[in-house]
Amino acid sequence: MTVVPTISIAMCTYNGEAFLPAQLDSILNQRYRDWELVVVDDCSSDGTREILERYAARDRRISVYYNDQNLGYNKNFEKSLGLCRAELIAICDQDDIWHKDKLQKQAELIGDHQLVYHDSEFIDGSGKAMNRRISDKMNLYRGNRPEAFLFLNCVSGHSILMRKGVFEKAAPFPAEFHYDQWLAFNAACLGSIDFVHECLVSYRQHSGNNTDILALHPVQKTAADKITALEKESHWLMLCARQCAGKSQQLLSALYNQSMLRNKGFFNTGYGLLIWKHRDILLHLLKKSNTSKFFYTLRKMWGPKAKMIGQ
């Protein structure tokens, strides 16, 4: 009889040889021992495969799978999560370092929650502390209001411990959006989420990161980029409205409808007024003054015709 561990850890790799050993060592050093590690490699061309095979030979809790073709970040995590057997699933990037109590503290907290996460400290590519943490950038959220994750996200994938049911509700992942924000949204649709107010991961920032959370590599956006972002925002709101029920769905549908009206013209006051009316939840993660939140809301009102000015 095959014994299923309490926690599955889903990891995706792609050309990660520079940082992968340190991450794997930090998993092996976890105080919580009842886990399996499910790794899916997305067609790496460096020494990642050799590193994975070496670690898998050392510890039978590690299973490694190789893609025949590159799936990309979102779909590869979807595959890895789908291979996990436990009822609790943690998510792991290839380039971070876990603190030894990470799984233990999250397992102790999860209780009846659908998902728990934690704060993280930033390190640079060499592993040096940057003296900043995620909670310096945004407010962390606990509760059961999925609307908190419409415009912002404080739940990084590497910090997640969730119930398998969250993944089952969220799959398949929308290809054009961040999978971790989608998981947080779906977890709050199903029930409550909570967080450990400690930094349990050293979150590495380097040129290969999929998410530039510290805006270390800003990209100049054209008018076409900005218009595409408006359309993408409306599509996101539509997906979210379809995913939730009850009072949340009413607000989500109203936001989607107002965003579509904005997309047809120069400016839509109705969209901004709706956001501002519900700012306590919609802008909860924004660690800014009310004045900054007002101007954030104001920018949401401008439509594609406004974006073309000066181009």
- Using pLDDT thresholds of 50, 70 and 90, give the confidence band for residue 4: confident
Confidence at residue 305, expressed as pLDDT on a 0 to 100 scale: 84
Residue 190 buriedness (CB in 10 A; 0-12 / 13-18 / 19+) = buried
Residue 112 buriedness (CB in 10 A; 0-12 / 13-18 / 19+) = exposed
Question: Tens digit of pLDDT for each residue in 7-59?
Answer: 999 999 999 999 999 999 999 999 999 999 999 999 999 999 999 999 999 99
Check: CB of residue 103 under 8 Å from CB of residue 33.
no
User: What residues contact 221, with CB distance under 8 A and at least 6 apart?
Assistant: 229
Confidence at residue 173, expressed as pLDDT on a 0 to 100 scale: 97
Residue found by looking up tokens 């930090």 in the block = 26
Note the CATH architecture for domain 7-204.
Alpha-Beta Complex (3.90)
- Residue 212, pLDDT > 60, answer no
Bridge partners, residue 196, by sequence: 118
Check: CB of residue 10 under 8 Å from CB of residue 94.
no
Confidence at residue 309, expressed as pLDDT on a 0 to 100 scale: 76
Find, among 54, 245, 274, 285, the residue nearest to 151 by Cα.
285
Confidence at residue 245, expressed as pLDDT on a 0 to 100 scale: 82
Confidence at residue 200, expressed as pLDDT on a 0 to 100 scale: 98
- Using pLDDT thresholds of 50, 70 and 90, give the confidence band for residue 165: very high
- Residue 213, pLDDT > 90, answer no
Find, among 115, 238, 83, 252, the residue nearest to 174 by Cα.
238
The CA distance from 291 to 60, in Å, is 54
Structure tokens at 138: 């945004």
Check: CB of residue 36 under 8 Å from CB of residue 118.
no
State the chain's mean pLDDT as an integer: 94
User: What residues contact 224, with CB distance under 8 A and at least 6 apart?
Assistant: none
Give, in order, the Cα–Cα distances in Å from 181 to each of 10, 87, 157: 16, 20, 8
- Residue 206, pLDDT > 90, answer no
Query: Mean pLDDT over residues 210-237, rounded?
Result: 80
- Residue 214, pLDDT > 60, answer no
Around Cβ 256, how many Cβ atoms within 10 Å? Answer: 20
Confidence at residue 218, expressed as pLDDT on a 0 to 100 scale: 61
- Using pLDDT thresholds of 50, 70 and 90, give the confidence band for residue 220: confident
Largest CA distance in the chain: 68
Confidence at residue 217, expressed as pLDDT on a 0 to 100 scale: 53
Domain range list for the chain: 7-204, 223-307
The CA distance from 12 to 80, in Å, is 7
Q: What share of the chain is helix, strand, coil (3-state, %, to 5)?
A: 45, 20, 35
Cα torsion 202, 15, 18, 32 to 10°: value is: 40
